Structure 1
Amino acid sequence: MDTAILVDCIKLFEMVSVVMVIAYLFSRSRFYQEILEHRPTISTHIILALIFGILSIYGMSSGINYFGAVVNIRDLGPIIGGLSCGPFVGIGAGIIGTCYRLSVGGPNVFGAALGPIISGICGSAIFILNKREVLSTKYAIIATIGIEVGVSLITLLIRALGGSTSTLLTVFINVAVPMICLTSVAAGIFAFIIHNLIQERQVKLEKEKLEQEIAKKEAELSIAAEIQKSFLPDSLPYFPKYEMAGKSIPAKEVGGDFFDFMPLELIPFSKSQMGIMIADVAGKGVPAALFMALSRIVIRISALWFKNCAEAIAFANPVITHDSKTGMFVTLFLGILDNETMTMSYVNAGHNPPLVFRTGTEKIEELKPTGIAIGVIEDIAFDQKSVHLQNGDVVVLYTDGVTEAINTNTEEFGVPRLIQTIKDSVSLPSQEMVDTIVTRVTEFCGAQPQHDDITLLVIKVHDS
């Protein structure tokens, strides 16, 4: 290939670059957005047909005369119009290109004029066969090569029928082949640009969907937190000989922790007793908060009706189990404090063992489970036990959000650290003990986010 041909090829590549810039700007226009969303109007079709028709005209007017033919990319506009926008645009652009070529005249005008309209028809047919979706870059190039080979053969056939046969092979090699290559490359670049746009839209839609899901999740968590908060005691009751304090800190994912105090003077007519309860519902979010609300109401009513803890839990368990259709269950500790006998009778239904600090020996006792969690098995018995409390003793009830809180090394706070914290703060008032434990847990966790509620109940005995 001599220098003149090389210069001509460079000129053609420059022309393709101009077309691609126009194509990029077009792909970001609102008109093509309508095509991608499958809602184009008639005016949009007309405008796009004009745009791709102008591309066809530009491709022809920038061509190079060679061996009596014009080397150009006249078919690019109709091809990409048909492949990306459908029949109205592809055929419309082809008609515009054909009319322009006929108006220019010259040798082999009819063969050359057929190129744009045939290209538009073929591109549109492929668009329909591909279910009105844009071809991938590879298949767009293959389709363009096929269309251009067919158009070139038709053009050469018409040229031969017109009596010009001596230079057919030369024209095909020096004119048709460069046109096929350049048009195919240009179509591939255009398809690549369009697919980038489609991927950007998909990422944007997925981002918007994710943002909506996050907003919905945050709204659910907010509702769950309000539900959980509304069922916690607004104030701590006064009960002689016992100083009580409690706190529940919702985690990022709201669960179903709760604690409660229940004066028992109404139905059992006992002013010397006070019911205490701490529980943890398995699960997170709104379902756990709603199940917590149900469990609290049922257990509270049962505790007010039955003086015996085991009877109260045995009555509440079938009700909760029957409504536990999502596999949720409740671990719970229900105790009854008596300020006359200085005892606490209790049932531990699969809950974390409360810790009793004995002031006389400075040792810790665990009130281990006396039955399984509530909501698991409908017909099951629970054992009631009792513990004697002395002046200065401290009872600490907690949920697993305390002991299972983790730090950045995924190390749990654990029961030993909780016991040590209790011993370090046992001389403080109940509320300050609660605050001290929470502070120790928070400092231990550092920047590690927690995924479970932290709920504490501290009871100090004052036999005076």
Structure 2
Amino acid sequence: MPQEFKRQYKEILEQYTLRQTEHNLYEGQNFSRQLIQKNISPEEVISIHKASLEEIIPNLSADVSHSFDLLIEVMIRYGLALKEHQTLIKKQENFKMEMELASNVQQTLLKTKIPNMFGLDIGMISVPAQEMNGDYAYFLNDETSVGVAVADVIGKGIPAALCMSMIKYGMDSLTGAKTDPIVVLDVINRIVEKSVSDSMFISMFYGTYNTTRSEFTYASAGHEPPLFYCAKSERFTELQAKGLLLGVVPNVKYEQHSVVFDKEDFVVMMTDGVTECRSKEGFIEQQTVMDIIESVRDESAQAMVEYVYKKLEELQDFEQRDDFTLVIFKKI
């Protein structure tokens, strides 16, 4: 510590030992700002305090004097730990800013518009558990057909977001909504297999709805099976379709199936953030999810997905553990 600082501190300490006034304390506070500006360490401050006190009080007890030696050693370690902590906090703040920026870029890059189709009501909600979304929903449409992709990366964070960029790139390369689902999955699988790390896998469901025939054709790459609700029988059935996860091998044969909608029928497409919701008692059963959906079957598709999200959020005590994506196609 410079001699000038030592002199100033001794004067402040001497005045305080004599008077103990608020003014003396105020001078000490102002002096501490100078110490911070000059990057004076805590142990240096204690060392000059000890030396100043021994000059002010010549008969200072040896035990008191030695106690400052211990405090200096403590402060050396404390100062190092504090610097490491501050460095870590700074890194975390920088990382948070980068994640927020990346999240904004992801939202802009992967943004999709819900199409307005005659005779079909569409609802969609996608809520990330963290800053970056590992789920993805994408729409393609023309005059009579609308296609929807619902994908889920096995993983989170920036790597998952980059994988979703590959999905977006592949979807943009398709010619239109009339492309067969098995062709769509084949194209996306080849892109993912070439471009994504072997440790990253993606499940994906793709379906296309023809408004003229009221027919929904679909295929799946290891994704959660959608739920089809038949209004006439008031029953749910799973739309099963076998298919390997995207990115495992380049050549995969996918199954393609179709179902015809009657009025008020709807299909619920989702990610495992919906089917694997957990409460304090354990996983929320599929029947509970179906009961929640059925309770609002007369609402619009968008009102349905928003209601389901809110109810499952309540059942989880508002602790979302995974990305949540839900899409509903409803014939009207």
Q: Which bin holds the TM-score, normalised by the shorter protein?
A: 0.7 to 0.9
**Are the counterparts in 2 of residues 259 and 279 from structure 1 also a CA contact under 8 Å?**
yes
Deviations 1:316-347 (A, max 9, x none): 21211111126222211111111222211111
Letter in 2 for 1:195: E
The match for 1:289 among 134, 141, 161 is: 161
What CA distance in whole angstroms lies between the structure 1 residues aligned with 2:330 and 2:52? 88
Shift of residue 363, structure 1, vs aligned partner: 1.1
Q: Go from structure 1 to structure 2 and tell me whether the alpha carbon gap of 1:241 and 1:410 turns closer, same or farther (over 3 Å shift).
A: same
The match for 2:287 among 410, 416, 419 is: 416
Match of 1:153 in 2: none
**Are the counterparts in 1 of residues 227 and 268 from structure 2 also a CA contact under 8 Å?**
yes
**Are the counterparts in 1 of residues 146 and 177 from structure 2 also a CA contact under 8 Å?**
no
Shift of residue 421, structure 1, vs aligned partner: 0.9
Residue 332 (structure 2) pairs with residue 453 (structure 1):
no
Provide the TM-score with structure 1 as the length reference.
Answer: 0.57
**Are the counterparts in 2 of residues 314 and 380 from structure 1 also a CA contact under 8 Å?**
yes
Q: Go from structure 1 to structure 2 and tell me whether the alpha carbon gap of 1:393 and 1:53 turns closer, same or farther (over 3 Å shift).
A: closer
Q: In the TM superposition, what are the counterparts of 1:69-84 in structure 2 within 5 Å?
A: none
Shift of residue 54, structure 1, vs aligned partner: 9.3
Q: Could you tell me the percent identity over the aligned residues?
A: 24
What CA distance in whole angstroms lies between the structure 1 residues aligned with 2:99 and 2:277? 20
The match for 1:444 among 298, 312, 315 is: 315
What CA distance in whole angstroms lies between the structure 2 residues aligned with 1:54 and 1:308? 86
Shift of residue 242, structure 1, vs aligned partner: 1.2
Residue 74 (structure 2) pairs with residue 196 (structure 1):
yes
Shift of residue 298, structure 1, vs aligned partner: 0.8
Unaligned runs of 5+ in 1: 1-17, 19-24, 64-72, 74-181, 266-270
Superposition RMSD in Å: 3.4
Residue 221 (structure 2) pairs with residue 385 (structure 1):
no
Deviations 1:338-371 (A, max 9, x none): 1222211111111111100011111111112421
Unaligned runs of 5+ in 2: 1-16, 18-27
| Structure having the larger proportion of residues in strand | 2
Match of 1:238, SS state, is coil
Deviations 1:49-101 (A, max 9, x none): xx85995x889x659xxxxxxxxx9xxxxxxxxxxxxxxxxxxxxxxxxxxxx
Q: Go from structure 1 to structure 2 and tell me whether the alpha carbon gap of 1:33 and 1:340 turns closer, same or farther (over 3 Å shift).
A: closer
**Are the counterparts in 2 of residues 228 and 256 from structure 1 also a CA contact under 8 Å?**
no
| Structure having the larger proportion of residues in helix | 1
Q: In the TM superposition, what are the counterparts of 1:16-35 in structure 2 within 5 Å?
A: 30=35, 34=40
The match for 2:111 among 232, 245, 250 is: 232
Match of 1:426 in 2: 297
Shift of residue 221, structure 1, vs aligned partner: 3.4
Match of 2:8 in 1: none
What CA distance in whole angstroms lies between the structure 2 residues aligned with 1:226 and 1:326? 27
What CA distance in whole angstroms lies between the structure 2 residues aligned with 1:204 and 1:257? 39
**Are the counterparts in 2 of residues 232 and 258 from structure 1 also a CA contact under 8 Å?**
no
Letter in 1 for 2:325: T
Deviations 1:161-199 (A, max 9, x none): xxxxxxxxxxxxxxxxxxxxx68x954x34420232123
Shift of residue 228, structure 1, vs aligned partner: 3.7
Q: Go from structure 1 to structure 2 and tell me whether the alpha carbon gap of 1:382 and 1:302 turns closer, same or farther (over 3 Å shift).
A: farther
**Are the counterparts in 2 of residues 242 and 460 from structure 1 also a CA contact under 8 Å?**
yes
Letter in 1 for 2:294: K
The match for 1:346 among 215, 218, 235 is: 218
Match of 1:245 in 2: 123
Q: Go from structure 1 to structure 2 and tell me whether the alpha carbon gap of 1:417 and 1:224 turns closer, same or farther (over 3 Å shift).
A: farther
Match of 1:222 in 2: 100
Letter in 2 for 1:435: E
Alignment coverage as a number of residue pairs: 299
Letter in 2 for 1:416: Q
What CA distance in whole angstroms lies between the structure 1 residues aligned with 2:287 and 2:271? 15
Letter in 1 for 2:245: A
The match for 1:309 among 181, 195, 199 is: 181
Provide the TM-score with structure 2 as the length reference.
Answer: 0.77
- The structure showing larger relative contact order (alpha-carbon pairs under 8 Å, at least 6 residues apart) is 2
The match for 1:273 among 142, 145, 148 is: 145
Q: Go from structure 1 to structure 2 and tell me whether the alpha carbon gap of 1:196 and 1:54 turns closer, same or farther (over 3 Å shift).
A: closer
What CA distance in whole angstroms lies between the structure 2 residues aligned with 1:417 and 1:319? 37
Shift of residue 282, structure 1, vs aligned partner: 2.2
Match of 1:383, SS state, is coil
Letter in 1 for 2:112: P
**Are the counterparts in 1 of residues 139 and 146 from structure 2 also a CA contact under 8 Å?**
yes
Deviations 1:232-269 (A, max 9, x none): 324x2121221111111222343321212101x4xxxx
Q: Go from structure 1 to structure 2 and tell me whether the alpha carbon gap of 1:381 and 1:441 turns closer, same or farther (over 3 Å shift).
A: same
Q: Go from structure 1 to structure 2 and tell me whether the alpha carbon gap of 1:434 and 1:303 turns closer, same or farther (over 3 Å shift).
A: farther
Match of 1:280, SS state, is strand
**Are the counterparts in 2 of residues 355 and 397 from structure 1 also a CA contact under 8 Å?**
yes
Shift of residue 287, structure 1, vs aligned partner: 2.4
Larger radius of gyration: 1
Larger mean CA deviation between 395-404 and 378-387 belongs to 378-387
**Are the counterparts in 1 of residues 313 and 320 from structure 2 also a CA contact under 8 Å?**
no
